Structure 1
Protein backbone atom coordinates (compact mmCIF):
# COMPACT_ATOMS: atom_id res chain seq x y z
CA UNK A 1 0.00 0.00 0.00
CA UNK A 2 1.30 3.47 -0.86
CA UNK A 3 0.19 7.01 0.07
CA UNK A 4 0.19 9.59 -2.70
CA UNK A 5 0.54 13.35 -2.42
CA UNK A 6 -2.47 15.17 -3.81
CA UNK A 7 -0.41 18.22 -4.83
CA UNK A 8 -0.72 19.06 -8.51
CA UNK A 9 -2.18 15.64 -9.25
CA UNK A 10 -5.59 14.57 -10.43
CA UNK A 11 -5.96 11.17 -8.84
CA UNK A 12 -8.56 8.59 -9.73
CA UNK A 13 -10.89 6.85 -7.30
CA UNK A 14 -11.82 3.20 -7.44
CA UNK A 15 -10.23 0.51 -9.59
CA UNK A 16 -7.70 1.16 -12.34
CA UNK A 17 -6.21 -1.97 -13.82
CA UNK A 18 -4.62 -3.89 -10.97
CA UNK A 19 -4.64 -0.84 -8.70
CA UNK A 20 -7.29 0.38 -6.26
CA UNK A 21 -7.43 4.08 -5.25
CA UNK A 22 -9.28 5.21 -2.13
CA UNK A 23 -9.20 7.94 0.51
CA UNK A 24 -7.93 7.18 4.02
CA UNK A 25 -7.72 9.91 6.67
CA UNK A 26 -7.86 12.60 4.01
CA UNK A 27 -5.08 11.12 1.91
CA UNK A 28 -5.26 9.17 -1.33
CA UNK A 29 -4.05 5.61 -0.93
CA UNK A 30 -3.28 3.13 -3.66
CA UNK A 31 -2.94 -0.62 -3.32
CA UNK A 32 -2.76 -3.49 -5.74
CA UNK A 33 -5.62 -5.95 -6.03
CA UNK A 34 -4.80 -9.36 -4.59
CA UNK A 35 -3.78 -11.78 -7.27
CA UNK A 36 -6.17 -14.68 -7.71
CA UNK A 37 -4.79 -18.03 -6.68
CA UNK A 38 -5.92 -20.42 -9.38
CA UNK A 39 -4.08 -23.37 -7.94
CA UNK A 40 -7.22 -24.97 -6.51
CA UNK A 41 -9.16 -24.36 -9.71
CA UNK A 42 -6.77 -26.33 -11.88
CA UNK A 43 -5.14 -28.55 -9.23
CA UNK A 44 -7.91 -29.30 -6.73
CA UNK A 45 -7.16 -31.25 -3.60
CA UNK A 46 -8.64 -34.75 -3.13
CA UNK A 47 -11.21 -33.31 -0.72
CA UNK A 48 -12.23 -30.66 -3.26
CA UNK A 49 -12.63 -33.35 -5.92
CA UNK A 50 -14.91 -35.31 -3.58
CA UNK A 51 -17.04 -32.23 -2.93
CA UNK A 52 -17.28 -31.41 -6.64
CA UNK A 53 -18.35 -34.95 -7.44
CA UNK A 54 -20.90 -34.84 -4.65
CA UNK A 55 -22.40 -31.61 -5.96
CA UNK A 56 -22.62 -32.94 -9.51
CA UNK A 57 -24.06 -36.33 -8.64
CA UNK A 58 -26.75 -35.06 -6.25
CA UNK A 59 -27.83 -32.31 -8.63
CA UNK A 60 -28.03 -34.84 -11.47
CA UNK A 61 -30.10 -37.11 -9.23
CA UNK A 62 -32.56 -34.33 -8.27
CA UNK A 63 -32.91 -32.43 -11.55
CA UNK A 64 -35.50 -34.72 -13.23
CA UNK A 65 -37.93 -34.26 -10.30
CA UNK A 66 -37.39 -30.54 -9.68
CA UNK A 67 -41.07 -29.71 -10.28
CA UNK A 68 -42.11 -32.28 -7.70
CA UNK A 69 -39.62 -30.82 -5.24
CA UNK A 70 -40.91 -27.28 -5.82
CA UNK A 71 -44.36 -28.56 -4.85
CA UNK A 72 -43.07 -30.47 -1.84
CA UNK A 73 -41.02 -27.56 -0.46
CA UNK A 74 -43.36 -24.78 -1.59
CA UNK A 75 -43.63 -23.07 1.80
CA UNK A 76 -39.84 -22.72 1.95
CA UNK A 77 -39.17 -21.40 -1.56
CA UNK A 78 -37.44 -18.07 -2.12
CA UNK A 79 -36.13 -16.33 -5.21
CA UNK A 80 -32.74 -17.93 -4.72
CA UNK A 81 -33.60 -21.21 -2.98
CA UNK A 82 -35.81 -23.71 -4.79
CA UNK A 83 -37.00 -27.19 -3.99
CA UNK A 84 -33.83 -28.76 -5.35
CA UNK A 85 -31.72 -26.75 -2.91
CA UNK A 86 -33.76 -27.92 0.08
CA UNK A 87 -33.76 -31.54 -1.09
CA UNK A 88 -30.00 -31.31 -1.72
CA UNK A 89 -29.39 -30.32 1.89
CA UNK A 90 -31.50 -33.20 3.18
CA UNK A 91 -29.88 -35.79 0.91
CA UNK A 92 -26.33 -34.50 1.28
CA UNK A 93 -26.36 -34.82 5.07
CA UNK A 94 -27.15 -38.55 5.28
CA UNK A 95 -27.80 -40.02 1.86
CA UNK A 96 -24.43 -39.64 0.14
CA UNK A 97 -21.33 -41.79 0.60
CA UNK A 98 -18.43 -41.18 -1.79
CA UNK A 99 -16.79 -44.50 -0.87
CA UNK A 100 -19.62 -46.58 -2.32
CA UNK A 101 -20.12 -47.44 -5.98
CA UNK A 102 -23.74 -46.28 -5.79
CA UNK A 103 -23.01 -43.09 -3.93
CA UNK A 104 -26.58 -41.87 -3.44
CA UNK A 105 -29.06 -43.74 -1.26
CA UNK A 106 -32.55 -42.82 -2.58
CA UNK A 107 -34.15 -43.82 0.72
CA UNK A 108 -32.82 -40.60 2.27
CA UNK A 109 -34.48 -38.37 -0.33
CA UNK A 110 -37.28 -36.20 1.01
CA UNK A 111 -39.63 -35.03 -1.73
CA UNK A 112 -41.55 -32.83 0.70
CA UNK A 113 -41.07 -31.12 4.04
CA UNK A 114 -43.53 -29.59 6.45
CA UNK A 115 -45.40 -29.70 9.74
CA UNK A 116 -48.40 -31.69 8.57
CA UNK A 117 -48.72 -35.07 10.28
CA UNK A 118 -46.88 -37.57 8.10
CA UNK A 119 -48.06 -41.02 6.96
CA UNK A 120 -47.78 -43.70 9.64
CA UNK A 121 -47.36 -47.47 9.29
CA UNK A 122 -47.21 -47.13 5.51
CA UNK A 123 -46.56 -50.26 3.45
CA UNK A 124 -45.96 -51.09 -0.18
CA UNK A 125 -46.54 -54.16 -2.32
CA UNK A 126 -46.76 -54.87 -6.03
CA UNK A 127 -49.68 -56.93 -7.29
CA UNK A 128 -49.64 -57.56 -11.01
CA UNK A 129 -49.67 -54.18 -12.71
CA UNK A 130 -50.68 -52.22 -9.62
CA UNK A 131 -48.75 -50.75 -6.70
CA UNK A 132 -50.75 -51.21 -3.51
CA UNK A 133 -50.01 -48.64 -0.77
CA UNK A 134 -51.58 -48.66 2.69
CA UNK A 135 -51.21 -46.51 5.81
CA UNK A 136 -52.77 -45.93 9.21
CA UNK A 137 -55.81 -43.65 9.47
CA UNK A 138 -54.54 -40.83 11.70
CA UNK A 139 -57.04 -38.31 10.34
CA UNK A 140 -57.91 -36.70 13.66
CA UNK A 141 -54.52 -36.62 15.30
CA UNK A 142 -52.74 -33.28 15.61
CA UNK A 143 -53.25 -31.09 12.52
CA UNK A 144 -54.27 -33.97 10.23
CA UNK A 145 -57.60 -33.92 8.40
CA UNK A 146 -59.57 -36.73 6.79
CA UNK A 147 -59.51 -35.03 3.38
CA UNK A 148 -55.75 -34.37 3.25
CA UNK A 149 -54.52 -35.17 -0.23
CA UNK A 150 -52.32 -38.21 -0.83
CA UNK A 151 -49.60 -37.97 -3.47
CA UNK A 152 -47.15 -40.60 -4.69
CA UNK A 153 -43.88 -40.29 -6.62
CA UNK A 154 -42.44 -43.22 -8.57
CA UNK A 155 -38.87 -42.42 -9.60
CA UNK A 156 -36.68 -44.48 -11.93
CA UNK A 157 -33.22 -43.17 -11.11
CA UNK A 158 -31.34 -45.09 -13.81
CA UNK A 159 -33.49 -43.72 -16.63
CA UNK A 160 -34.21 -40.37 -14.96
CA UNK A 161 -37.94 -40.89 -15.41
CA UNK A 162 -40.74 -40.43 -12.93
CA UNK A 163 -44.48 -40.65 -12.42
CA UNK A 164 -46.11 -38.12 -10.12
CA UNK A 165 -49.61 -38.87 -8.83
CA UNK A 166 -50.81 -35.72 -7.06
CA UNK A 167 -54.09 -35.81 -5.15
CA UNK A 168 -54.43 -39.53 -5.76
CA UNK A 169 -56.83 -40.05 -2.84
CA UNK A 170 -57.47 -38.81 0.74
CA UNK A 171 -55.83 -39.57 4.07
CA UNK A 172 -58.85 -41.41 5.50
CA UNK A 173 -58.96 -43.78 2.51
CA UNK A 174 -56.01 -45.64 4.16
CA UNK A 175 -54.99 -47.09 0.81
CA UNK A 176 -54.08 -46.09 -2.73
CA UNK A 177 -53.59 -47.95 -5.97
CA UNK A 178 -51.04 -46.74 -8.48
CA UNK A 179 -51.06 -48.17 -12.00
CA UNK A 180 -47.64 -49.52 -12.81
CA UNK A 181 -46.34 -50.68 -16.19
CA UNK A 182 -43.31 -52.90 -15.65
CA UNK A 183 -42.29 -52.32 -19.28
CA UNK A 184 -41.58 -48.65 -18.70
CA UNK A 185 -37.86 -49.36 -18.66
CA UNK A 186 -34.98 -51.01 -16.91
CA UNK A 187 -33.85 -50.38 -13.37
CA UNK A 188 -35.67 -49.93 -10.08
CA UNK A 189 -38.52 -47.60 -9.26
CA UNK A 190 -38.33 -45.83 -5.90
CA UNK A 191 -41.67 -44.99 -4.29
CA UNK A 192 -42.39 -41.98 -2.06
CA UNK A 193 -45.57 -41.01 -0.21
CA UNK A 194 -46.62 -37.60 1.10
CA UNK A 195 -49.73 -35.86 2.47
CA UNK A 196 -50.81 -32.31 1.67
CA UNK A 197 -53.46 -29.99 3.11
CA UNK A 198 -54.69 -27.09 0.99
CA UNK A 199 -55.28 -23.66 2.46
CA UNK A 200 -58.54 -22.45 0.91
CA UNK A 201 -57.50 -18.77 1.20
CA UNK A 202 -53.92 -18.85 -0.06
CA UNK A 203 -54.31 -21.91 -2.32
CA UNK A 204 -51.00 -23.13 -0.96
CA UNK A 205 -50.42 -26.51 0.62
CA UNK A 206 -49.14 -27.48 4.01
CA UNK A 207 -47.02 -30.58 3.39
CA UNK A 208 -45.92 -33.46 5.54
CA UNK A 209 -42.43 -34.88 5.51
CA UNK A 210 -42.44 -37.52 2.81
CA UNK A 211 -42.00 -41.23 3.50
CA UNK A 212 -39.83 -43.56 1.44
CA UNK A 213 -41.79 -46.77 0.82
CA UNK A 214 -39.13 -48.84 -0.94
CA UNK A 215 -38.30 -49.86 -4.47
CA UNK A 216 -39.85 -52.22 -6.98
Structure 2
Protein backbone atom coordinates (compact mmCIF):
# COMPACT_ATOMS: atom_id res chain seq x y z
CA UNK A 1 0.00 0.00 0.00
CA UNK A 2 1.28 3.48 -0.84
CA UNK A 3 0.35 6.98 0.22
CA UNK A 4 0.62 9.94 -2.14
CA UNK A 5 0.76 13.72 -1.94
CA UNK A 6 -1.33 14.03 -5.10
CA UNK A 7 -1.91 12.45 -8.49
CA UNK A 8 1.59 13.27 -9.62
CA UNK A 9 3.18 13.83 -6.23
CA UNK A 10 5.58 11.85 -4.10
CA UNK A 11 4.42 8.47 -2.86
CA UNK A 12 5.65 6.39 0.03
CA UNK A 13 5.27 2.65 0.41
CA UNK A 14 4.59 -0.04 -2.18
CA UNK A 15 2.89 0.60 -5.51
CA UNK A 16 2.86 -2.26 -7.99
CA UNK A 17 6.46 -3.40 -8.44
CA UNK A 18 7.84 -0.15 -7.04
CA UNK A 19 8.67 0.69 -3.45
CA UNK A 20 9.51 4.15 -2.12
CA UNK A 21 11.32 4.91 1.13
CA UNK A 22 13.30 7.70 2.77
CA UNK A 23 17.09 7.47 3.04
CA UNK A 24 18.79 10.28 4.93
CA UNK A 25 16.21 12.81 3.85
CA UNK A 26 16.01 11.69 0.22
CA UNK A 27 13.27 9.67 -1.42
CA UNK A 28 14.49 6.45 -2.99
CA UNK A 29 12.37 4.43 -5.44
CA UNK A 30 13.36 0.92 -6.55
CA UNK A 31 11.91 -2.06 -8.34
CA UNK A 32 10.97 -5.16 -6.37
CA UNK A 33 9.97 -8.64 -7.33
CA UNK A 34 11.64 -11.80 -8.58
CA UNK A 35 13.10 -12.28 -12.03
CA UNK A 36 12.53 -15.45 -14.01
CA UNK A 37 15.76 -14.95 -15.93
CA UNK A 38 18.65 -17.29 -15.18
CA UNK A 39 21.48 -15.30 -13.54
CA UNK A 40 24.59 -14.77 -15.63
CA UNK A 41 28.06 -15.91 -14.55
CA UNK A 42 28.93 -12.30 -13.74
CA UNK A 43 25.84 -11.94 -11.56
CA UNK A 44 26.64 -15.17 -9.73
CA UNK A 45 30.20 -13.97 -9.15
CA UNK A 46 28.95 -10.67 -7.78
CA UNK A 47 26.58 -12.45 -5.43
CA UNK A 48 29.35 -14.69 -4.13
CA UNK A 49 31.63 -11.70 -3.56
CA UNK A 50 28.91 -9.89 -1.65
CA UNK A 51 28.10 -12.98 0.40
CA UNK A 52 31.76 -13.46 1.41
CA UNK A 53 32.16 -9.85 2.52
CA UNK A 54 28.80 -9.56 4.29
CA UNK A 55 29.41 -12.82 6.19
CA UNK A 56 32.72 -11.48 7.50
CA UNK A 57 31.36 -8.03 8.34
CA UNK A 58 28.27 -9.27 10.17
CA UNK A 59 30.04 -9.81 13.53
CA UNK A 60 32.18 -6.73 12.80
CA UNK A 61 29.28 -4.29 12.42
CA UNK A 62 29.78 -2.33 15.69
CA UNK A 63 33.50 -2.01 14.94
CA UNK A 64 32.90 -0.97 11.33
CA UNK A 65 30.34 1.61 12.43
CA UNK A 66 33.19 3.33 14.26
CA UNK A 67 35.90 2.60 11.70
CA UNK A 68 33.98 3.88 8.65
CA UNK A 69 31.87 6.54 10.37
CA UNK A 70 34.06 9.47 9.31
CA UNK A 71 34.51 8.06 5.81
CA UNK A 72 30.80 8.49 5.07
CA UNK A 73 30.27 11.77 6.91
CA UNK A 74 28.25 14.14 4.72
CA UNK A 75 27.24 11.41 2.24
CA UNK A 76 24.15 9.25 1.73
CA UNK A 77 26.11 6.10 2.65
CA UNK A 78 26.23 4.38 6.01
CA UNK A 79 29.44 2.85 7.47
CA UNK A 80 28.42 -0.74 6.75
CA UNK A 81 27.61 -0.05 3.09
CA UNK A 82 30.91 1.78 2.65
CA UNK A 83 32.81 -1.12 4.21
CA UNK A 84 31.03 -3.64 1.99
CA UNK A 85 31.76 -1.58 -1.13
CA UNK A 86 35.46 -1.18 -0.32
CA UNK A 87 36.05 -4.82 0.55
CA UNK A 88 34.12 -6.22 -2.41
CA UNK A 89 36.37 -4.16 -4.67
CA UNK A 90 39.66 -4.72 -2.86
CA UNK A 91 39.61 -7.79 -0.62
CA UNK A 92 38.31 -10.59 -2.85
CA UNK A 93 40.35 -13.43 -4.30
CA UNK A 94 39.64 -16.28 -6.72
CA UNK A 95 37.08 -16.75 -9.48
CA UNK A 96 33.50 -17.99 -9.36
CA UNK A 97 32.57 -20.47 -7.95
CA UNK A 98 35.68 -20.38 -5.70
CA UNK A 99 35.59 -16.75 -4.58
CA UNK A 100 36.76 -16.02 -1.04
CA UNK A 101 37.93 -13.20 1.18
CA UNK A 102 41.60 -12.20 1.26
CA UNK A 103 41.91 -11.35 4.94
CA UNK A 104 45.20 -9.54 4.42
CA UNK A 105 43.49 -6.91 2.26
CA UNK A 106 40.40 -6.32 4.38
CA UNK A 107 39.78 -2.85 5.82
CA UNK A 108 37.68 -2.47 8.95
CA UNK A 109 38.58 1.18 9.46
CA UNK A 110 39.39 3.87 6.92
CA UNK A 111 40.86 7.26 7.64
CA UNK A 112 43.80 9.66 7.50
CA UNK A 113 45.62 8.94 10.76
CA UNK A 114 48.96 7.17 10.57
CA UNK A 115 48.37 3.40 10.73
CA UNK A 116 50.16 0.99 13.06
CA UNK A 117 53.83 0.46 12.24
CA UNK A 118 55.07 -3.16 12.08
CA UNK A 119 52.31 -4.61 14.28
CA UNK A 120 52.71 -8.14 15.65
CA UNK A 121 50.64 -10.46 17.82
CA UNK A 122 51.40 -13.30 20.24
CA UNK A 123 48.93 -15.58 22.00
CA UNK A 124 49.61 -17.04 25.45
CA UNK A 125 46.71 -19.10 26.70
CA UNK A 126 43.72 -16.82 26.17
CA UNK A 127 45.74 -13.60 26.34
CA UNK A 128 46.47 -12.00 22.97
CA UNK A 129 49.15 -9.31 23.05
CA UNK A 130 49.59 -6.86 20.19
CA UNK A 131 52.70 -4.72 19.76
CA UNK A 132 53.70 -2.00 17.31
CA UNK A 133 56.69 0.23 16.78
CA UNK A 134 56.83 3.65 18.43
CA UNK A 135 59.26 5.97 16.60
CA UNK A 136 61.57 8.01 18.83
CA UNK A 137 60.43 11.15 17.03
CA UNK A 138 56.71 10.34 17.23
CA UNK A 139 54.58 13.38 16.54
CA UNK A 140 53.04 14.71 19.74
CA UNK A 141 49.66 15.01 18.04
CA UNK A 142 49.23 11.23 17.64
CA UNK A 143 50.83 9.82 20.78
CA UNK A 144 47.46 9.76 22.58
CA UNK A 145 45.64 7.94 19.77
CA UNK A 146 43.81 4.90 21.08
CA UNK A 147 44.27 1.39 19.71
CA UNK A 148 41.29 -0.34 18.08
CA UNK A 149 41.72 -4.13 18.14
CA UNK A 150 39.71 -6.68 16.18
CA UNK A 151 40.04 -10.47 16.30
CA UNK A 152 37.91 -12.66 14.03
CA UNK A 153 37.53 -16.44 14.31
CA UNK A 154 36.37 -17.84 10.93
CA UNK A 155 35.49 -21.26 12.36
CA UNK A 156 33.09 -19.73 14.88
CA UNK A 157 32.15 -16.80 12.63
CA UNK A 158 32.50 -14.57 15.68
CA UNK A 159 34.69 -11.64 16.66
CA UNK A 160 35.91 -9.79 19.74
CA UNK A 161 37.12 -6.23 19.61
CA UNK A 162 38.23 -3.14 21.52
CA UNK A 163 37.22 0.36 20.40
CA UNK A 164 39.41 2.41 22.71
CA UNK A 165 42.46 0.52 23.93
CA UNK A 166 45.96 1.53 24.93
CA UNK A 167 47.59 4.78 23.82
CA UNK A 168 49.69 4.62 20.66
CA UNK A 169 52.74 5.77 22.64
CA UNK A 170 52.72 2.62 24.81
CA UNK A 171 53.53 0.36 21.86
CA UNK A 172 51.39 -2.53 23.08
CA UNK A 173 47.93 -3.65 24.12
CA UNK A 174 46.23 -6.91 25.03
CA UNK A 175 42.86 -8.59 24.98
CA UNK A 176 41.63 -11.66 26.84
CA UNK A 177 39.94 -13.99 24.36
CA UNK A 178 37.05 -16.37 25.00
CA UNK A 179 38.27 -19.87 25.83
CA UNK A 180 36.67 -21.37 22.71
CA UNK A 181 38.93 -19.18 20.50
CA UNK A 182 42.06 -21.00 21.68
CA UNK A 183 43.47 -23.46 19.13
CA UNK A 184 41.46 -21.99 16.27
CA UNK A 185 42.52 -19.79 13.36
CA UNK A 186 42.33 -16.10 14.28
CA UNK A 187 42.55 -13.11 11.96
CA UNK A 188 43.93 -10.09 13.81
CA UNK A 189 43.59 -6.38 12.92
CA UNK A 190 44.58 -3.09 14.51
CA UNK A 191 43.69 0.55 13.85
CA UNK A 192 43.97 3.82 15.77
CA UNK A 193 41.39 6.43 16.72
CA UNK A 194 42.28 9.98 17.75
CA UNK A 195 41.74 10.86 21.38
CA UNK A 196 39.00 13.32 20.40
CA UNK A 197 37.33 10.72 18.19
CA UNK A 198 37.50 12.99 15.14
CA UNK A 199 39.84 10.86 13.02
CA UNK A 200 40.86 7.23 12.55
CA UNK A 201 43.54 5.30 10.70
CA UNK A 202 43.19 2.57 8.13
CA UNK A 203 43.11 -0.79 9.85
CA UNK A 204 46.12 -3.06 9.38
CA UNK A 205 46.02 -6.84 9.14
CA UNK A 206 48.40 -8.05 11.84
CA UNK A 207 48.33 -11.63 10.67
CA UNK A 208 46.97 -15.12 11.18
CA UNK A 209 47.39 -16.54 14.67
TM-score with structure 1 setting the length: 0.71
Q: 2:84 is paired with a residue of what secondary structure?
A: helix
Give the Cα separation in 2 of the matches to 1:180 and 1:42. 47
Work out which of the residue numbers 193, 208, 211 in structure 1 matches 2:204.
211
Per-residue deviation, 1:53: 2.0
CA contact 1:117–1:143 (8 Å) conserved in 2:
no
Distance 1:189 1:39, change over 3 A: closer
Work out which of the residue numbers 122, 126, 130 in structure 2 matches 1:129.
126
Per-residue deviation, 1:133: 1.2
CA contact 2:64–2:109 (8 Å) conserved in 1:
yes
Distance 1:186 1:132, change over 3 A: closer
Residue 103 of structure 2 is aligned to residue 106 of structure 1 = yes
Which residue in the other structure is 2:72 paired with?
Answer: 77
Per-residue deviation, 1:192: 0.6
Q: Deviations over 1:108-159 (max 9, x none)?
A: 1111111111110111122232212111114854584221111201112332
Per-residue deviation, 1:102: 6.2
Which residue in the other structure is 2:142 paired with?
Answer: 145
Aligned ranges 1:1-80 → 2 under 5 Å:
42-77=37-72, 80=76
CA contact 1:64–1:160 (8 Å) conserved in 2:
yes
Work out which of the residue numbers 132, 149, 158 in structure 1 matches 2:155.
158
Per-residue deviation, 1:40: 7.0
Q: 1:89 is paired with a residue of what secondary structure?
A: helix
Give the Cα separation in 1 of the matches to 2:106 and 2:153. 13
Q: 2:180 is paired with a residue of what secondary structure?
A: coil
TM-score with structure 2 setting the length: 0.73
Paired residues, what number?
A: 179
Work out which of the residue numbers 87, 94, 103 in structure 2 matches 1:91.
87
Q: 2:104 is paired with a residue of what secondary structure?
A: helix
Q: Tell me the C-alpha RMSD between the 2 structures.
A: 3.0
CA contact 2:122–2:130 (8 Å) conserved in 1:
yes
Q: Deviations over 1:38-58 (max 9, x none)?
A: 997521211121112222222
Give the Cα separation in 2 of the matches to 1:39 and 1:167. 44
Unaligned runs of 5+ in 2: 1-7, 9-30
CA contact 1:116–1:143 (8 Å) conserved in 2:
no
